[in-house]
Structure formats: structure tokens, C-alpha cells
A and B are shown apart, each in its own frame.
Chain A
Amino acid sequence: MKVGVVTFPGSLDDHDAARAVRLAGADSVALWHADADLHGVDAVILPGGFSYGDYLRCGAISRFAPVMTSIIEEANNGMPVLGICNGFQVLCESHLLPGALTRNQGLHFLCTDQLLRIENIETAWTSAFADGAEIVIPLKNGEGSYQCDDATLEMLEKDGRIIARYLGQDPNGSRNRIAGISNANGNVVGLMPHPEHAIDPLTGPSADGLAFFTSVLTQMVGK
């Protein structure tokens, strides 16, 4: 089973994402932003970082990279896609997910171990969690405040598309404490905190993040 990890100019967490994929038991495949070929992967991860220097808006330029054209097409056909941090921003700019991520309410760049609650275990990337699981994984961003209009927020709540919410003190001013959402099908997930940095207690605050990566393998075996 092959999971692609995209590298844009300015991606930072592609290596950690690839390591998480391998630790979960899949093969990681490096995908390049300028190459539209997805090399036969079964799922794709858009990693964290500062693609194209966050110029214009976070994710705004990456969204038009050749690789994204293929990913958008496959995501609409049901291929699992996980966007982490900058990857979440790219998914919103691509309109694969609704809303947008804006400057943190407190203006500071945040870097902290964050408590979350998993609120939907029906998606391609959360099925290995227990319902309502509380996990600790790193949160590190400057523009992680999730914003959308009232109708979108109501729809996300009603359809159970808020897959993870911040617990404890509100870190960045996201509407309804949203840390992650999915598309209507549950194959596309965007998450602001970083599960790929929490896959091994030696190098992260926990191993809680690994279940995101094992989830997608279960999903693919089940097909």
C-alpha cells in the first residue's frame, strides 16, 4: 500500500509524515509539486510547512501546483487525502474543504503540545480512534484560526464533519474550537495540529498521532 507525501518548495514536515506512514506499515512515496503524476499511490498527505513562503495567503499558490490538479481530481473520486497544517490550508484554498485558516487570534506563532478530542471516527483518517478519544499532539502555526460563515459552521456541526476539537484553553480563535474537519465523503481531512510529530514517545509528546496513519491503511484494506 502506497501513501504519497507531497513536497512543495517550503514544505517542512514531509519527512516526518513519510516516517509516520512507514511506522504505520505502508510504503511512503515522495511526490513533487511540479509533477502531476501521482505514481500510483492509494492516498496522499499534504504536509506542514510554509509552501511558497506562505506568499499571498497560506496555501494560495500551492493550490495551483501541477500535483494539486491530480490530487483534486482523485480526491473528488474518493481517494483519501490528509492535509496537515499548511496542508489543511492548501485543502481549503483548493475548495476540497470549506472555510479558511486565518491569523491566530493572539497573533503569536504557537508551538505547544495540544489536547484534542476526536469527534468523528467514520472518516478515512480517524477510523482507528476510539469515539471521543482525547489525544495530545503538537500544534505549531501562525495562521491556524479556522473561519467560515454561519451556514457552513452549522452544516459542519450538523453533519458531524468536525473531526477534532481543541480542549482546554482556546489556542487560536478557531470557530467552535475546530482543529480539523472532513469533506462530506470523509475521504478528505484537514487538521491543524501535527499527528506526524507524535508517533513515537521518543520524539514526540505521545504516540497518539499514529492512529491517523493506521486509519487510512484499514480503510484501504477494507476496500
Chain B
Amino acid sequence: MSAAPPFVDFKDVWLAYSDELAARNDFAIEDITLSTRDGEFIAIVGPSGCGKSTFMKLATGLKKPTRGSVAIAGQNVTGPLKIVGMAFQAPTLLPWRTTLENVLLPLEIVEPYRSSFKAKREEYAARARKLLATVGLQGYEDKYPWQLSGGMQQRASICRALIHEPKMLLLDEPFGALDAFTREELWNVLRDLWTVQRFNVILVTHDLREAVYLADTVYVMSKRPGRILATRQIDLPRPRDLEITYTEPFTALVLELRERIGSIRKS
């Protein structure tokens, strides 16, 4: 690890969803300690209900840890973090807004864009169009979400998460509902965005190939209560292409992670 301060820094974090649960020692996640370098892409994998989404809520400040501390960019997290963009398995676009208007939504809310939104709308719209073009949504800016395919909606959703140039992108199984081909296409979309912008990424996923393909570091979580069971650096060379997923080192990594998850199931 380099000497630079970590970007995401979880120290002995425990979280129970209520005081009663805490008193009964019923935690959603337990004893999570992890830290990432600035610009690192991490993936969290694990079985259903392992507290991956809880982890996301902690990293964004939507929940406060019951014990331990969470710091992002050197600051203790005490409330919702505005330097974060989020995208989920469901694209959650607003059906009454066009793709462009959906992508602009964060700028209507987050400062400093909010106060200048009316005055600079053209400028922001141009920025959104550019971002949409980089994910291949040129010509769809003025379509409504229900006129787009699932994969296109998810691209738009990722653009919405990135429009305010957040330092951190949180993705909760963003490609889970897509077919295999679209999913792999979007891996590359995400890879390219990240390569250019170097935001921090926390990707929560069930898909081990996805995690190994995209991430610098993969964390394996146990089933509830969620703990980090293993940390695996992925030292596959970048830039990575889809061909790499058919190579021996790649499959060996996937298999290794798969076995760790398998042993969780049995225990």
C-alpha cells in the first residue's frame, strides 16, 4: 500500500439496524475494516443477504455505524455525502422525464449546480449530452425511459450517477438484470468511464467474473452477519479486454473466489 491517505477507510465497523437489534447482538455487518487508495476500483462479492447493500449505505453516510468509524477522503462520515453517485439494479429513471432530463436531475439538487441551474441549463445540458454520448446514447437524449431497452436505461442511470462528477461511484448490482451480452458491453462502458475519470468505485455484485474483470481489489463477504472473509488483489494487467476473461489467470482467479464462497455456503 502506498503512503497516500486512504480514500475509503472503514475501521472496525459494526452496524445493527436498531438499538434493540444491537442489544441482541444481531448485526447486519460485523467488524469490517478496509481501506482503498484514491481512484481504486473495488468490488464486493458475497451471497444474497450478506450485507452488501448495508455496506453501501455506510459508505454514503445514509446509515451511521453502530460501532467503529467510516471516513471518506479523510473526513469522518456523519451525514449523506454529496461527493457520491449511486446506481442500482433497477435503473429508477423517472418516466415523465426524458433521458436528458433524468441525467440532469442531480444538478437540480446538489450544490453548487443547484443555485446556477436555471442560468446555466444549456451548459449543463451540453455536458449531459456529452456524457450520454460516451456511453453510446447519442440520439436518445430526448427519448423517454420506457422507449429505451433495459441496457440503455442502465447506461442512462450510470450517467445520472456521474453527472455531478462525484469522487465516488457506488454501484449495487447495476448489471444484475441484464442479459449476458449487454452486461459485458456495459462492463466496458464502465471500464472506459473509470479509465478516463478515475473516480473511486465500490461495485457490489453477485457476479465473480464481473468483479475480477473490473476491480483492482475484490472483497468476499460472508452471509449475514456480513464479515469480510477474504481480500484478493486482482493484478491482471490493464487495460483489460473481454478476451482476458477466457484466459487461464482470469479463470483461476474466478475459481479461487468461487471456492471461498462455496466454503461460506457449507459453514
Q: Are chains A and B native binding partners rather than an unrelated pairing?
A: no
**Could you list which residues of chain A lie within 8 angstroms of chain B, going by C-beta atoms?**
none
